Chain A
């Protein structure tokens, strides 16, 4: 009985912290419509700042609290709103998601720059010296009392603000109808700013309360606070009272599992994963959203030609061969990861780009694939790759079942929950046996070595051979994705993204289609992970964590998630550009971790993305054989000179990079007059050049039959 009471007290205290954090999340979500994935990271920053002031610099507690909660927290919230979130009101859900995920990545990176990881930073609880208060047979510490009191105060305070103050009325009005609120004199920007200031403050408060109980580590803290998201989902991201109930459920579950879970080596992870498992279950229990979409301008999803795809694949393989024959061994080990990571990013193209389903657990699928080849392919047997594809496809199909009911932010959360459950529990399991039938070993609580592939006696153990293998695999995966886009299945995926309601009323089996695309995507990610494992030689659970996978997702969206180029961009940025910059500018290496986050945040400012412009710039290279032929010939020429020893590595690298850029510039210069001519605006025709019969035909076409045509200028 005292045990029950003791753990109830612990549970209620934990619940109080979750409630504080979750109510901040609900506040910002309801007033601005942005689900802030970085809410936890803001709390983490708050905890670090407090540690800095209170424990490192030794400021008095009240001063430190006042500075963090009264100045830094609100200021940071206002900054976020002004600089990042304000432009997102009109952005698509995927863009919003990517921006806040990138913010999470960026803040973790920032914290690790300021407070170097790996150093112990102890934090004392409030009034640690004071004796616990006896509570019948159990006892409660003063810190716990303060925590619970804070949560109660936050609940009452929020209620008072929302229903008592003019600001609160304005907030609720903005939630209901932004434009109507503006008409009656509410300024939504101000309301949003207040909500972000208050929300960030609550996150920081929660971070300060929770940090003493665990280690002060940026990633752990940011993700531990993810637990609080589950509480917010209990309230369907809207209801504060339900959010508090959710927090109570989570806190008590956690405490009772600590107290009553049998002590063995399999179950400690279950306790750590319990909040995300609850999150997953609550998401499934949410009422089914109505099956309706609406017509909106959807981003272009190009339909590559077969010839273009084959050319692209050949170029990828060629670049792999060139790299393999010119790079040093350490460089090869670094840069070859571009391709397997590219394949993992490529797995998002059919899933997110075509079908519009968001998944944050692609790297977890990759982990499952890697574990599979580590165990089944220890002799380099290529069949293990097929096993990796098959097993991950099966897991992916399972994940698709909740996807039938969830979309957008909820699906993102569900897949993130799945990833965290794997990280915290499944991947840490020791060897176990299923019904005594067969043994399953995952990571076995350590690292696993992955044997290189061996096909028909040809081993891929050497770095050079592996580089070619990886490039070839990426090329193959790209061809598969292009084939999907061009197929009946690909059209149906795009149709499903645009309108599930129409698909259903045309007789499409939505569940089957979603299961198929999740299985395909998971299988691709699994093979990518298997290859990544081979490239690395050894794998550990940390390789495939949620946090490691977020940059891949963000950069694939930045690069264009409907395109092969976008996936290659993600791989190239993470494992090409970043190591290259680190090698060129050793002084700023520490700051490079911010780049993926910044790229994603930039997406909010310019949703089409700078990458689209770059891609369009390179279009002539791929489109016109007259440009492509000489370019490839030149590059191959430099390569021959390099192999013959005439060129050294640096000039060679410069020439190889400069050649396509030069070719594109030359092609644009050559194309300009003609392109200019074609696109001549109507009002100049007949003036700048003679009016012709073809102009008349074009005008007719543009106006369409009986004036009901496409409208606009020449297409």
Chain B
């Protein structure tokens, strides 16, 4: 059980403010949504949380302890795992080997870790990757490749799971099953943070949604509240004169 809290994070690229005083909380056992138009800063925020990018200001807290200054590997060991919007798979390895690398790494630094081979097979079964287990991931279509990234993140048994557009490239029926999987992952006690463009998926899974626009949180609330929020509509559809 772990609670992720981001407080007043600010990131500037040259003169551009990519994130401006952004804060949000992801509670364990729930899926927290981060939505917003392209370029709103969602992926930048994930890079800050996972330690790939140091913010100019602000803090990232895991269960109240500050992760500031920790390198990505230390954050992973503290319980953070993520997927990437632009896939970062191990292209020259098979699906099974991709998961196995992560399980092996987990085994090295965690006392709780079980047998990595066993863990790998469990994940292949859970994500329904049997048919492609021995295929090089280079050859997979995006939808499945994103599942492999999810599996790889799960292999290190994280308490916080950051998912960057995990459902892109899936068709409708797959998204339906994916929503079920996401709710299960959260119900098992993880704090799941979901960046997603598919509004249906967000509405079907998230307990709390934060809306980013131009690097700021412009709204937050339950999916139902967000759907009625006028600032959000304006951000997505452009300013509609009142």
Contact = CB atoms under 8 A, between A and B. Distances in A.
A384 interface: no
Contact of A710 (B71, B90, B132): B132
Contact of A505 (B82, B155, B174): B82
* Closest A-B pairs by Cβ, 8 of them: A507-B76, A504-B72, A502-B88, A499-B88, A298-B92, A498-B90, A495-B90, A298-B91
Interface residues of A, number: 39
B117 to A, nearest CB: 10
Contact of A294 (B50, B86, B106): B86
A447 to B, nearest CB: 44
B234 interface: no
Pick from A297, A495, A701 the residue with the most CB of B within 10 Å. A495
Contacts of B170: 708
A708 B90 contact: no
Contacts of B180: none
A537 interface: no
B88 A508 contact: no
Contacts of B93: 491, 494-495, 498
Contacts of B138: 295, 297-298
Given A499-B89, A505-B50, A710-B132, 12 more contacts: A295-B138, A492-B101, A498-B89, A502-B84, A502-B89, A502-B90, A502-B152, A504-B71, A506-B81, A506-B101, A710-B140, A711-B141
B40 to A, nearest CB: 20
B50 A507 contact: no
A495 B103 CA distance: 13
Contact of A507 (B90, B97, B105, B132): B105
Contacts of B105: 492, 503, 506-508
A681 to B, nearest CB: 19
B181 interface: no
A290 B86 CA distance: 15
A706 interface: yes
Interface in A465-509: 488, 491-492, 494-495, 497-499, 501-509
Contacts of B73: 504-510
Contacts, number: 126
Given A492-B105, A710-B135, A710-B140, A505 B90 contact: no
A704 B88 contact: no
A291 interface: yes
Contacts of B171: 706-708
Contacts of A291: 52, 72
Contacts of A711: 141
Interface string B133-156: 001101111011000000011011
A301 interface: yes
Contacts of B144: 708
21 contacts: A291-B52, A293-B88, A301-B92, A488-B104, A492-B101, A494-B92, A495-B93, A495-B98, A499-B88, A504-B76, A505-B72, A505-B81, A506-B101, A506-B105, A507-B73, A508-B73, A508-B105, A701-B131, A706-B171, A708-B171, A709-B131
A491 B97 contact: yes
A674 interface: no
B173 interface: yes
A505 B92 contact: no
A292 interface: yes
A501 B84 contact: yes
A336 B131 CA distance: 48
Interface in B57-87: 71-73, 75-77, 80-82, 84, 86-87
Nearest to A293: B88
A93 to B, nearest CB: 16
Interface in B21-64: 50-52
A498 B104 contact: no
Contacts of A299: 92
A177 interface: no
Pick from A291, A298, A506 the residue with the most CB of B within 10 Å. A506
A407 to B, nearest CB: 15
Interface of A: 290-301, 488, 491-492, 494-495, 497-499, 501-510, 701, 704-711
Nearest to A504: B72
Contacts of A293: 88
A295 B86 contact: yes
Contacts of A494: 90, 92-93, 97
DSSP majority for the A interface?
Answer: loop
B192 to A, nearest CB: 16
A706 B156 contact: no
B202 to A, nearest CB: 22
B88 A501 contact: yes
A505 B152 CA distance: 11
A499 B52 contact: no
Contacts of B141: 708-711
A507 B156 contact: yes
A502 B150 CA distance: 12
Nearest to A356: B92
B174 A708 contact: yes
Contact of A501 (B52, B81, B135): B52
A639 to B, nearest CB: 39
B128 interface: yes
A558 to B, nearest CB: 19
A701 B91 CA distance: 22
Contact of B104 (A492, A502, A707): A492
B149 to A, nearest CB: 8
Contact of A296 (B50, B71, B80, B91): B91
A218 B152 CA distance: 52
A704 B106 CA distance: 31
A491 B101 contact: yes
Given A502-B152, A505-B52, A705 B84 contact: no
B102 interface: yes
A708 B76 contact: no
Contacts of B97: 491, 494
A139 B159 CA distance: 73
B104 A491 contact: yes
A345 B87 CA distance: 33
Interface in B84-128: 84, 86-93, 97-98, 100-102, 104-106, 108-109, 128
Interface in B154-171: 155-156, 170-171
A506 to B, nearest CB: 5
Contacts of A298: 91-92, 138
B38 to A, nearest CB: 18
Given A293-B88, A505-B52, A708 B143 contact: yes
Nearest to B71: A504
Pick from A297, A499, A505 the residue with the most CB of B within 10 Å. A505
Contacts of B139: 710
Nearest to B173: A706
Contacts of B173: 706
Contact of B91 (A491, A498, A708): A498
Contacts of B106: 506-507
A504 B143 CA distance: 23
A505 B104 contact: no
A706 B91 contact: no
A249 to B, nearest CB: 28
B92 A499 contact: no
A707 B143 CA distance: 11
B56 to A, nearest CB: 16
A292 to B, nearest CB: 7
B92 A506 contact: no
B91 A297 contact: yes
A506 B156 contact: yes
A704 B131 contact: yes
A448 to B, nearest CB: 42
Contacts of A499: 88-90
A563 to B, nearest CB: 13
A488 B93 CA distance: 12
A90 B106 CA distance: 37
A504 B52 CA distance: 9
A243 to B, nearest CB: 23
A503 B88 CA distance: 9
